[in-house]
């Protein structure tokens, strides 16, 4: 059964700390297995991809069918309905428009000493995008990962995904086409991450890898970071809904289950100031579970990791929210903006009764790739800046160096770096930095 915690109880702090510290990810230690896969790809390239695909995905891969051709991608579009294609195109338009507003500006100025200072932004040249699940994958995730990269100006965007039996979900391929993905490969798992990071005979290496995956994919990203950039190590999904008793309990129940159905390790939390309303939501959840196709997954998530937290007033919720630092936060209440102003840590916030998290999953505009596992305390959701890098620059003539150079020499001497001191002092006309 989901936890029920009351802020007014004397033991709240201890119970809340236990709840907060509970481990949700159940995957065992896969570091050794992943390291072995990486070594195989490093040493044997395409041959390793072929062997590992045969073992894990059950079909015969070769150099000819590793990369998808234009014919397969066009056929996938024909296999989608017009309504599905129009929905993907609307989502792509809205996601692109939102992310275009994130594009940064270059900076250049001359300071009081006369130095020319600034920075410039440039897109990362090549990015790899991992799409989990093969035939069970989500086209919305393709759009959310690919479109910010294209808005940023990434010139080569590579997609890999497992394809059990060699087949892809047509909507996934159509989303990739709409988003402008340049290369698509039918390879998944840790071996796909290794191939994109280090390259093989058929797959050229990329500069950064984005996209979620299972424990093996996450561990491969962790081990290969440094050889290649990564976005984040994603964990199970989360939602926290703050709701008053004026809500329809069925709406809130559906919002909570919208994350519970993702994964048996996902987490859904309700904070409310109305115990009777909480009971109604719990009843509606049990009724809705009976009709959900993913009932087993959602039930396990809700029973093991779900929670109802009762507070005296919703204005008391801000410290609890910040401690949880949820991936998704719904404020389904009067005065949502006032509570939002007090919150420091959340991946994405949904304001008002008519802003369910599911709207953000598909086409509101902001990215649905968000920090999980309390990492919203120090990180943000995926955006245009994740696909760009900033280079600073310094331009100096003789006069500016004469104004500030002596201080640089002093600091270099203090650090015992005499070549540093000499480098500046020579420009000041001094031959001996001491």
pLDDT at 258 over 80: yes
pLDDT digits (tens, 9 = 90+) for 177-205: 999 999 999 999 999 999 999 999 999 99
User: pTM to 2 decimals?
Assistant: 0.93
Lowest-confidence segment of 17-31, 185-199, 220-234 by average pLDDT: 17-31
The answer to whether residue 413 is domain-embedded is yes
Mean pLDDT value across residues 381-397: 97
pLDDT at 433 over 60: no
Active site residue 327: yes
* 181, 215, 230 - which closes a domain: 230
Residues ≥6 apart with Cβ < 8 Å to 425: 405, 409, 431, 432, 433
At residue 134, the pLDDT reads: 55
The answer to whether residue 118 is domain-embedded is no
pLDDT at 431 over 80: no
Mean pLDDT value across residues 26-39: 87
Question: Within this chain, do residues 131 and 263 fall inside the same structural domain, yes or no?
Answer: no
Q: Domain range for residue 419?
A: 396-428
* 364, 388, 419 - which closes a domain: 364
DSSP-derived secondary structure for 309-356: EE-SSGGG-HHHHHHH--SEEEEESTTHHHHHHH----SEEEESTT--
The answer to whether residue 380 is domain-embedded is no
Question: Within this chain, do residues 58 and 202 fall inside the same structural domain, yes or no?
Answer: yes
At residue 234, the pLDDT reads: 84
Q: What gap in Å lies between CA 43 and CA 191, rounded to an integer?
A: 12
The answer to whether residue 384 is domain-embedded is no
Mean pLDDT, the chain, whole residue set: 95
* Selected catalytic residue, list 177, 238, 327, 330: 327
Q: What gap in Å lies between CA 116 and CA 96, rounded to an integer?
A: 34
Question: Within this chain, do residues 225 and 252 fall inside the same structural domain, yes or no?
Answer: no
pLDDT at 434 over 70: no
The answer to whether residue 383 is domain-embedded is no
At residue 26, the pLDDT reads: 58
* Selected catalytic residue, list 328, 330, 357, 368: 328
The answer to whether residue 342 is domain-embedded is yes
Question: Within this chain, do residues 220 and 242 fall inside the same structural domain, yes or no?
Answer: no
Lowest-confidence segment of 1-5, 226-230, 341-345, 347-351 by average pLDDT: 1-5
Number of domains in the chain: 3
Q: What gap in Å lies between CA 61 and CA 38, rounded to an integer?
A: 18
Residue 422, judged by CB atoms within 10 A of its CB (0-12, 13-18, 19+), counts as middle
The CATH code of the domain that includes 247 is 3.40.50.1980
pLDDT digits (tens, 9 = 90+) for 99-158: 999 999 999 999 999 999 999 999 999 999 999 875 567 899 999 999 999 999 999 999
Active site residue 420: no
The answer to whether residue 433 is domain-embedded is no
Question: Within this chain, do residues 280 and 401 fall inside the same structural domain, yes or no?
Answer: no
């Amino acid at each position: 059964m989901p936890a029920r915690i009351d802020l007014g109880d004397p033991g709240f702090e201890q119970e809340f700390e236990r709840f907060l510290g509970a481990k949700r990810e159940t995957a065992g230690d896969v570091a050794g297995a992943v390291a072995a896969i990486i070594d195989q790809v490093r040493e044997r390239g395409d041959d390793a991809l072929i062997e590992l695909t045969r073992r894990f995905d059950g079909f015969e891969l070769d150099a000819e069918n590793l990369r998808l051709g234009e014919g397969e991608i066009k056929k996938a579009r024909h296999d989608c309905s017009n309504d599905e294609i129009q929905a993907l195109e609307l989502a792509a338009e809205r996601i692109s428009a939102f992310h275009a507003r994130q594009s940064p500006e270059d900076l250049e100025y001359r300071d009081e000493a006369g130095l020319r200072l600034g920075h410039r932004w440039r897109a990362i040249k090549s990015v790899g995008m991992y799409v989990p699940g093969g035939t069970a994958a989500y086209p919305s995730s393709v759009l959310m990962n690919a479109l910010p990269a294209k808005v940023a100006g990434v010139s080569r965007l590579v997609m890999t995904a497992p394809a059990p039996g060699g087949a892809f979900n047509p909507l996934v391929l159509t989303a990739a086409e709409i988003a402008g993905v340049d290369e698509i490969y039918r390879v998944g798992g840790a071996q796909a991450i290794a191939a994109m990071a280090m390259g093989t005979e058929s797959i050229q290496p990329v500069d950064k890898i984005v996209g979620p995956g299972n424990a093996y994919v996450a561990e491969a990203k962790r081990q290969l970071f440094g050889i290649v950039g990564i976005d984040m190590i994603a964990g199970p999904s989360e939602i926290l809904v703050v709701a008053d008793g004026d809500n329809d309990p069925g709406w809130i129940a559906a919002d909570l289950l919208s994350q519970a159905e993702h994964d048996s390790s996902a987490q859904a939390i309700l904070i409310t100031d109305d115990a009777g309303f909480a009971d109604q939501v719990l009843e509606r959840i049990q009724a809705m579970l009976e009709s959900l196709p993913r009932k087993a997954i959602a039930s396990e998530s809700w029973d093991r990791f779900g929670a109802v937290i009762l507070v005296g007033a919703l204005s008391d919720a801000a410290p609890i929210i910040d401690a949880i630092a949820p991936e998704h936060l719904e404020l389904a209440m009067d005065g949502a903006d006032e509570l939002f102003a007090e919150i420091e840590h959340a991946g994405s916030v949904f304001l008002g009764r008519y802003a369910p998290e599911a709207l953000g999953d598909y086409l509101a505009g902001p990215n649905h790739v968000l920090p999980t596992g309390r990492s919203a305390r120090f990180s943000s959701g995926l955006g245009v800046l994740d696909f760009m890098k900033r280079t600073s620059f310094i331009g100096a003539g003789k006069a500016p160096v004469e104004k500030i150079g002596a201080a640089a020499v002093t600091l270099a001497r203090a650090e015992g770096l005499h070549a540093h001191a000499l480098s500046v002092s020579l420009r000041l006309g001094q031959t001996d930095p001491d």
